[in-house]
Amino acid sequence: MTLILILWLIPAIAIVINLPSPWKLRSDYINLAAALGVFACSLILLISTSNEQSNLLHGYLIISSFGNWVTFCVSTVYLLASIYSVGYIPLLKLSPSHTRRFYMLMEGFALSMLVAPFMNNPGLYWIAIDLTTIISAFLVGIEREPESIEAAWKYLIVVSAGLSLSLLGIVLFYWGGTFHLGPVYQMTWSSLHQVANRIPPSFLLLAFLLVLIGFGTKAGLAPMHTWLPDAHSEGPAPVSAMLSGALLNTALLGIVRFLAILNGTKASGPAHLAMIVIGIFSLIIAALFIVRQRGIKRLMAYSSIEHIAIITIGFGFGGTLGIAGALYQMFNHSINKSLMFFGAGNMMRGYASKEIGSIRRVLSSYPATGAAWLLGAIAITGAPPFGLFQSEMSIFRAGIISSNTWALWIVVIALIVIFIGFLNHFRSMYFGYEPNPDTVPTLKMNAWLVSPMWLALIALFVFGIWWPTGLMQFFIRAGRGL
Amino acid sequence: MFIIHASSIAASIVTTLIAIALVLSFAMLGSHWLKNHILAFAGESWVIAILSGAVAYYGNYKELYLIAILTALFRGTILPLLLMRLARRLDIEREFTPLFRPASGMVVGGLLIVVAFAVSNSLGTKLGVTNKIALVALTAMFGLKLIGFLLMIVRSEAISHILGLLVIENGIFLGSQILVPGLPFLLELVILFDLLIIVMTFGLLVRYLKTHAGTTSSQQLQKLVG
């Protein structure tokens, strides 16, 4: 309990310190210190929690391996984004008060994402997710450009509409339980799971589909993904990394917990199938838009949809391998996507353009950033020897032994299309025609901008060649605790 | 459980109130004046507040009295005032770009209510609930949800989108008061405050839209595509 409190208090205190005061404190360093503290806490929490699931604070909080894993993903991205922000935010030329506001919002955003995985009441989890939307909408629009405000507006309206569907789903779940547990009972994940077997399967499935569409909107699953490419491409690069690497996982956590409620009921099979179908549809949409993409950050945004789709399919396949692969994919996606958004941010500032067509001969202009970004691009398409290869292979193996083998064929074809389409864009940026002399970049990269990319790449490489046994056992435990 | 044990007078009052809430949502569909929309929303929220009071009285759920007061205060008074102020600041009196004429909008709305009834009826049968109040509450919950989405789709002004979203929220709130009056009290309170925060956020963003993007109409917010 103490550890969770510290985990929440660190960003909360950082917000308070960043409030206007007579002392001129560096808000970027305060944020970085908070991110380091949060990362350390989440790591200790991850290692120290041995049992599958326990409740605290009269059942309001839940500590589970799955929740701890999502928290760890959030804190890792928060740390990487905080390091990167020290170098990146000065490039935006925001006023000092605006910069302070940015860091306060970033800390608030991290805090809201750190609260959600511990909510044992699905309704309170919904509220935490709603709060993430409100705070991050301001982060997306922080630059006050017409495009970024438009993106923030679309994000807020589409996600709020989607989340209202999940609230309806939650109310229906609770209502179904009242016929057996009485008109007033504690709304928790476990109480809903206990009563699920006595609720008619078709009713359960309808409630689950509402939740899937609702939280799926937040997770960026197609066809509710329309806000994602706009918000991810128009926010500053560290915010894009947080939105993609951390927030999507936090939203997916809700879907998976509702899926787990259905375990052991007749609605479980159709619900898993719904996960696979929506995942495949998202994968196809991502593949089509990646191939014809012109904007560099939009390319990364569609890649996020691809990754979330694969994670969804992994949970849809289920079983030990499917869940382990999906959980591993969550972390690999988090660090890989952070790397890619940081690289995209660096290139956007370096070449003063968001267009892929304006970025040329990256390795000659930026050898250190360019090398990490190129290797990150290879990693993100699921090629060995990086982490995503391991996690995707695990999901494939789960697909082979599942009852939905047909889905695997579509997944493989879509991934091949994405591999070719994605790397073709990088081919043109690295080895394409000679650049126009006017577009030769002048911006000098510094360690703050490059080091988080390399940190992420090293982790991706290590997790690509070595999947620790302890981690596999942890994933098995997390799967059992669902 | 309230829906099963409600007396005939309670059932009549609740059903009438739900019907009034639905009619008010049609008033929103049928008018293009923003002031009318906001007033209809305020009216609908007051109806829901009275409904909460009725469920509290007849179902003996004491905490619902507080929810009723807060609903009237937040949803019925503060939110409409905030929206009125926003409309005044943006200098928008009317929705100029409707896709449907008022009459067509109302016909589509009517069809959506029929769909909502069919879904509710089927759900009620599966759950073994043939009770009239449950059926009407479910129909209103799904119906208001669909009408809210319709409002968001056919209207292009940002403030109309906020109103559409609020109608959706009203639908869920109305349904949950009747179907699950015992829904944890803390949750209901937090949702009310959350709604206030989200409307204030919307208000701020709409003003940013006007200042930085020069428009609040989704028909002109077309820069980001592909």
CB of A289 less than 8 A from some CB of B: yes
Question: What mean pLDDT is predicted for residues A14-22?
Answer: 86
- Would residue A54 be called left, alpha or beta, if left means φ above 0 and alpha means ψ between -120 and 50 degrees? beta
Three-class DSSP category at A126: helix
CB contact under 8 Å between A154 and B1, yes or no, is no
- Residues A285 and B114: their CA atoms lie apart, in Å, by 33
- The confidence score (pLDDT) of residue A258 equals 96
Q: List, for residues A285-331, the tens digit of each pLDDT value.
A: 999 999 999 999 999 999 999 999 999 999 999 999 999 999 999 99
CB of B180 less than 8 A from some CB of A: yes
- The confidence score (pLDDT) of residue B40 equals 94
CB contact under 8 Å between A146 and B213, yes or no, is yes
- Residues A456 and A453: their CA atoms lie apart, in Å, by 5
CB of A214 less than 8 A from some CB of B: no
Residues of B in contact with A203 (CB under 8 A): 123, 126-127
Percentage of the residues of chain B whose pLDDT score is greater than 90 = 38
Residues of A in contact with B128 (CB under 8 A): 179
- The confidence score (pLDDT) of residue B191 equals 78
Q: Which residue has the tokens 């993409």?
A: A293
Residue A434 scores a pLDDT above 80 = no
Residues of A in contact with B165 (CB under 8 A): 157, 160-161, 164
CB of B183 less than 8 A from some CB of A: yes
- If one counts the domains in chain A, the total is 1
- Residues A473 and B86: their CA atoms lie apart, in Å, by 55
CB of B76 less than 8 A from some CB of A: no
- The confidence score (pLDDT) of residue B98 equals 60
Three-class DSSP category at B31: coil
Q: Which residue has the higher pLDDT, A14 or B61?
A: A14
Question: What's the mean pLDDT when you consider all of chain A?
Answer: 92
CB of B126 less than 8 A from some CB of A: yes
- Residues A125 and A1: their CA atoms lie apart, in Å, by 18
- The confidence score (pLDDT) of residue A185 equals 86
Is A159:B152 a contact under the CB 8 Å cutoff?
no
Is B30:B24 a contact under the CB 8 Å cutoff?
no
Single-letter code of the amino acid located at B106: M
Q: Which residue has the tokens 């309990």?
A: A1
CB of A186 less than 8 A from some CB of B: yes
For chain B, which ranges sit under pLDDT 70?
1, 96-98, 219-220, 225
Residue A51 scores a pLDDT above 70 = no
- Residues A354 and A60: their CA atoms lie apart, in Å, by 45
- The confidence score (pLDDT) of residue A451 equals 96
Which of B148, B175, B223 is opposite residue A171, by nearest beta carbon? B175
- The confidence score (pLDDT) of residue A435 equals 67
- Residues A215 and A429: their CA atoms lie apart, in Å, by 35
Which residues between 297 and 326 in chain A have a beta carbon less than 8 angstroms from any beta carbon of chain B? Answer: 298
Q: List, for residues A406-423, the tens digit of each pLDDT value.
A: 999 999 999 999 999 999
Which of A144, A153, A164 is opposite residue B168, by nearest beta carbon? A164
- The confidence score (pLDDT) of residue A173 equals 93
Question: What mean pLDDT is predicted for residues A6-21?
Answer: 92
Q: List, for residues A184-214, the tens digit of each pLDDT value.
A: 888 899 999 999 999 999 999 999 999 999 9
Which residues between 96 and 155 in chain A have a beta carbon less than 8 angstroms from any beta carbon of chain B? Answer: 121, 123-124, 127, 130-131, 134, 137-138, 141, 144-147, 149-154
Question: What mean pLDDT is predicted for residues A278-285?
Answer: 97
Question: What mean pLDDT is predicted for residues A56-68?
Answer: 88
Percentage of the residues of chain A whose pLDDT score is greater than 70 = 98
List the domain range (segments joined by +) for residue A51: 2-480
What is the chain A residue with the closest CA to B149? A161
In this prediction, residue A43 has a pLDDT band, given cuts at 50, 70 and 90, of: very high
Which backbone phi and psi does A19 adopt, to 5 degrees?
Answer: -65, 155
Question: What mean pLDDT is predicted for residues A22-47?
Answer: 91
What is the chain B residue with the closest CA to A159? B165
Residue A252 scores a pLDDT above 90 = yes
- The confidence score (pLDDT) of residue B97 equals 57
Residue A425 scores a pLDDT above 80 = yes
- Residues A400 and A331: their CA atoms lie apart, in Å, by 23
- Residues A117 and A120: their CA atoms lie apart, in Å, by 8
- The confidence score (pLDDT) of residue B206 equals 82
- The confidence score (pLDDT) of residue B34 equals 87
> What value of ipTM does the predicted structure carry?
0.92
What is the chain B residue with the closest CA to A184? B182
Q: List, for residues A92-134, the tens digit of each pLDDT value.
A: 988 888 999 999 999 999 999 999 999 999 999 999 999 999 9
